[in-house]
Structure 1
């Protein structure tokens, strides 16, 4: 059964102790040390989240309940840096799905160059997230956005306006606490339920990205353009090895507090499957489903931050639209549109998102939605989030 939590975990003891500490200490004081020293600075942050959902495609219990929690540790010093992110989600019981998202250590070669080793987000696309929403775009589920794998990433700043990444990932990020191989944060190839279906393992991932800030003299507008490329080996349980070749181009236009972000790309995966050449089994958030091997994809996002919208409240409305257009004849295009807004005051946030999906695996769809499609038509979800940040 498909499940989606979209926030993540740590143990109950850790959760309660962090909440108690956060109630007494402001968020900007949860740090120790000095980043300009050899010993460095350690910062603790995170959030605890509850949600309320209403769906037109299933019976909703209409209950406010604990949804997820995140604990983040960040270390920064003169020479070294690192970070750990751990999340816990609730399906039936507290933190019955929990997962490590990042765990890495880095070395600063100089002021403009650094290397990061460990479990980390891949430098594919404009950044870790391509949209402003909490629920994310459907590219998350397709395994193209917000992907975290095990490897090494070299980042080089070339002058004031150009940034380059070159990374190698030996394997995916693995599975953690939960139901089987799909108990993972990022969407990766996973072991299929059907023993007759080919099992795909992705290894030897090479990823490159370049991001260029375009100077616009005497203009309040900021423009960033770039592109990224991803090549990997796809080891099939039938003894053959195929390849993934994926790329995208992206741009972000900023004017004062308004941002427009566009991403367009292509994914081509040859799994060398003799039985299912057009799709493969992917999993995340304890769900397994099929994703088309060949598709073009597009994501558009707009957001606008209104400071002091009312007294001390800040308001950020946002909207996104994602398209996963499969090459295979007869495979229906998958879309997800989202309208949302977030209200912030001090350490508290309230977010409301209205999401419409078609052939969407996590919005009214089924395991075949991101491959051949489904018969559900348009499905809708109202997602309300109540967040305490520390």
Structure 2
């Protein structure tokens, strides 16, 4: 064996000891693995689809997913893979990370984790989410490292994300739109993003969660090979009393890409579920969500959760038409069967009528409110 090979043989175990030494795992502990998932079907009747209205709506397959949760000592994994129809992007990861719990209050997550920005886990109660989801600001997941602290009075998260989900590893390959959460796609790519979030909690019978979030990162342009920036600030508040919940949130979002000459900087491309669309580069977004749970005994039905979720997107460019969304509905719980019954209305909302391509950018000043009656039935195991 040469001296170089002997050196490597010594160096690699030493490196692993230095990195993993502080992380304790008892040799007597056995690994555990839990596998779950969900199967969902969906019925919808849309105001802007005349032929669909003539036939009384459509009912079909929505999604099948597998969830994997495993532990070994203080290490754990959390992963979720989803299968949608080809028209909705096909199959892809929603989340997947390896975690380490230092103690009951502190942990580290490495991988595709939820970005700590705004109200979490969801800024909504309904199946459609709130307006924030459609700009990558609700239940967003990116690739990086996140530290979480959860104390009695304070919670805070600090994270660094190298990039969004990367499915194509070419030198100048655009990001794929076949993903669960919305990210910048097209000729710009998210890179080197830093996030911070803090929550202050008070109250017992009347619980309050006051929060603030910030993020800053790069936008690498494939044409100019220059790094632009994007940033966001958010103030958020949650209130709990008995079976009531209130969510309030305000966000300021800015994108400053270094686009090629002749390309506008007032619009960026975002994508998910296999389809990209245009979004205003700079905007403020305001949301209000309220819900009430009502325990019942109606055969297998044990709970009814009534809710209304509202969102307003105020675009910085005066000539752009603003976007609105409101969802009123009820979640019916019957054992492991969860059914969302929603009436979703939107104005210049890409997924609710109108022109899908640029509703969240220029919009249409002659647009009208469109609505979709939707029933999503899911068995979660």
Return the TM-score normalized by structure 2: 0.85
CA distance in 2, matches of 1:143, 1:63: 28
For the residues of structure 2 that align with 1:307 and 1:44, how far apart are their CA atoms?
29
1:288 matched residue in structure 2? 276
Aligned residue for 1:224? 209
Match for residue 67 of structure 1 among 62, 67, 82: 62
d(CA) in 2 for partners of 1:149 and 1:387? 26
Q: What number of residue pairs does the alignment pair up?
A: 339
Match of 1:31 in 2: none
Pair 1:96–1:119, CA change in 2 (3 A): closer
SS at match of 2:102: strand
The corresponding residue for 1:326 is: 315
**In the alignment, what sits opposite 1:118?**
111
Q: How does 1:1-390 map to 2 (within 5 A)?
A: 38-58=29-49, 59-60=51-52, 62-91=57-86, 97-157=90-150, 159-175=151-167, 181-191=176-186, 199-214=187-202, 216=203, 220-237=205-222, 238-273=224-259, 274=261, 275-313=263-301, 314-365=303-354, 366-374=356-364, 375-390=366-381
In 2, Cα distance between the equivalents of 1:299 and 1:334? 12
Secondary structure, aligned partner of 1:140 = helix
Structure 1 pair 104–278 and aligned structure 2 pair: CA distance change class (3 A): same
Partner Cα distance (2:82, 2:339) in 1: 19
- Looking at structure 2, the residues matched to 315 and 377 of structure 1 have their Cα atoms a distance apart, in angstroms, of 31
The alignment partner of 2:309 has SS state of strand
Q: Deviations over 1:365-388 (max 9, x none)?
A: 321111111243211101111211
| Cα 1:46/1:71, change in 2 over 3 Å | same
**Whole-Å separation in 1 of the counterparts to 2:361 and 2:258:** 17
Partner residue in 2 for 1:10: none
RMSD in angstroms over aligned alpha carbons?
1.9
CA distance in 1, matches of 2:86, 2:47: 20
Q: 2-side partners of 1:45 and 1:362: how far apart?
A: 29
Structure 1 residue 351 displacement after superposition: 1.7
Q: CA deviation at 1:309?
A: 4.8
Distance 2:200 2:32 in 1: 30
- Decide whether the 8 Å contact of 1:50 with 1:64 is kept in 2: yes
Q: Deviations over 1:283-307 (max 9, x none)?
A: 1111111011110011111111111
Distance (Å, rounded) in 2 between the aligned partners of 1:288 and 1:41 = 39
Greater C-alpha radius of gyration? 2
Range moving further from structure 2, 337-346 or 54-63: 54-63
Cross-structure match for 2:5: none
Give how far 1:140 is off. 1.2
**In structure 1, what is the Cα distance between the partners aligned to 2:255 and 2:46?**
33
| TM superposition score normalised by structure 1 | 0.83
Shift of 1:247: 1.1
Return 5+ residue gaps in structure 2 as ranges: 1-27, 169-174
Quick check: 1:122–1:128 contact (8 Å CA) kept in 2?
Answer: no
CA contact (8 A) 1:182 1:287 kept: yes
Q: Which residue of 2 aligns with 1:28?
A: none
Q: Which runs of 5+ in 1 are unaligned?
A: 1-36, 192-198
In structure 1, how many angstroms separate the alpha carbons of the residues matched to 2:158 and 2:34? Answer: 27
Q: Matches of 2:46 and 2:300 in 1, distance apart?
A: 32
